[in-house]
């Protein structure tokens, strides 16, 4: 990754993320009913919005790939699906942490929760398919699966509008949400959207490098390089305490733990690709 724009945006977004976290944990008004646990909202909702955005980009890239068989579109589809799964994992970890305090249970088969889990499983299946299929058919099959999987995104979004659910009803843009809370939420959504796009950009560049290395191997009559691995998943085990701060900080640490594990995975992958590229030269 040699783009100066990438590193400039990365530096700016690092500041936005730190400030957004400070706003969510310290500055935002204390919610009257849920208290401090509600502050998980400021990392949970932005993760969901970023995941949905990445899955939409994956949907468009998959359509373009089926139409033009573009290697760039294929790389973009893989990158956005993989990073989208990471953000969706954050949603599925932070949500139950909040639910354990609010509902007294980690999980129930609420329509919003169930459709989100199905969405995660669909895109994990996409990543598994990218690894397991024969090279000639992988991209086409995966693109078709991605287009099908995206159907669940609007279903997840509308689930608590179409069905009676325990999940909180939409509050953004309504009088029920304090304007100050809403402004802080929007700030965090922008910060996390930029964060997600930067990770996807980095992952896209890795995939393009991998495609070029694979082409070099083919020219040498060697086998192509392996496809991307599944992102690391993080399982949260909370203590039995009812202290709301245990759940609040557990949510934030879980979210950033997942992001950190995935970034370490990408850095490891980058090192391996650089080594392989040097060997080919």
> Could you read off the pLDDT of 188-215 as tens digits, one per residue?
999 999 999 999 999 999 888 887 776 6
Across the range 1-22, mean pLDDT stands at 89
Structural domain containing residue 238: 4-209+226-280
Residue 238 resides in a domain: yes
Alpha-carbon torsion, ordered 257, 262, 265, 269, to 10 deg: -160
Decide if 136 is inside a domain: yes
- What's the maximum distance between 2 C-alpha atoms anywhere in the chain? 66
Query: How much is the pLDDT for 60?
Result: 96
pLDDT value at 224 more than 50: no
Domain count, the chain: 1
Structure tokens at 2: 């040699």
Higher pLDDT, 151 or 226: 151
Higher-confidence position of 234 and 94: 94
Quickly state the pLDDT bin for 37 (edges 50, 70, 90). confident
Region of residue 69 (left: phi > 0; alpha: psi -120 to 50; beta: else): left
pLDDT on residue 46: 93
Start-end of H helices in 23-107 = 41-68, 71-102
Cβ(198)–Cβ(54) below 8 Å: no
**Residue matched to tokens 């030269």:** 281
Return the structure tokens found at 214: 């694979």
Residue 214, domain member (yes or no): no
Give the integer Cα–Cα distance in Å for 148 and 176. Answer: 35
Q: Tell me if 220 is assigned to some domain.
A: no
Q: Is the pLDDT of residue 134 over 60?
A: no
Q: How many CB atoms lie within 10 A of CB 174?
A: 9
* Residue of 180, 179, 170 lying closest to 23 (CA atoms): 180
The answer to whether residue 217 is domain-embedded is: no
The pLDDT confidence band at residue 90, using thresholds 50, 70 and 90, is very high
List the structure tokens of 189: 């959504």
Does residue 29 form part of some domain? yes
Model's pTM, two decimal places? 0.83
The residues pairing with 35 across neighbouring beta strands, listed in sequence order, are 31
Among 68-72, 119-123, 222-226, the range scoring the smallest mean pLDDT is: 222-226
Whether 221 is covered by a domain: the verdict is no
Is 139 domain-assigned? yes
């Amino acid at each position: 990754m040699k783009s100066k724009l990438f590193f400039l945006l990365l530096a700016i977004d690092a500041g936005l993320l730190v400030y957004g976290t400070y706003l969510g944990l310290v500055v935002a008004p204390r919610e009257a009913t849920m208290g401090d646990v509600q502050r998980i909202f400021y990392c949970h909702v932005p993760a969901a919005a970023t995941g949905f955005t990445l899955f939409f980009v994956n949907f468009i890239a998959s359509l373009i790939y089926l139409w033009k068989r573009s290697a760039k579109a294929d790389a973009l589809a893989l990158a956005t699906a993989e990073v989208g799964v990471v953000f969706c994992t954050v949603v599925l970890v932070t949500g139950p942490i909040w639910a354990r305090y609010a509902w007294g249970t980690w999980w129930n088969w609420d329509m919003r929760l169930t459709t989100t889990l199905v969405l995660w499983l669909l895109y994990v299946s996409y990543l598994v398919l990218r690894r397991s299929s024969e090279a000639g058919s992988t991209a086409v099959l995966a693109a078709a699966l991605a287009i099908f999987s995206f159907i669940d995104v609007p279903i997840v979004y509308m689930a608590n509008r179409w069905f009676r659910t325990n999940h909180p009803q939409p509050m953004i843009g309504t009088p029920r949400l304090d304007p100050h809370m809403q402004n802080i939420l929007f700030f965090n959504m922008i910060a996390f959207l930029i964060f997600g796009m930067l990770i996807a950009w980095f992952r896209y560049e890795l995939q393009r490098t991998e495609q070029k290395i694979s082409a070099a191997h083919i020219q040498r009559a060697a086998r192509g390089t392996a496809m991307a691995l599944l992102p690391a998943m993080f399982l949260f085990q909370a203590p039995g305490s009812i202290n709301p701060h245990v759940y609040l900080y557990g949510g934030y640490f879980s979210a950033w733990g997942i992001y950190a594990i995935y970034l370490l995975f990408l850095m490891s992958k980058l090192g391996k690709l650089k080594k392989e590229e040097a060997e080919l030269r």
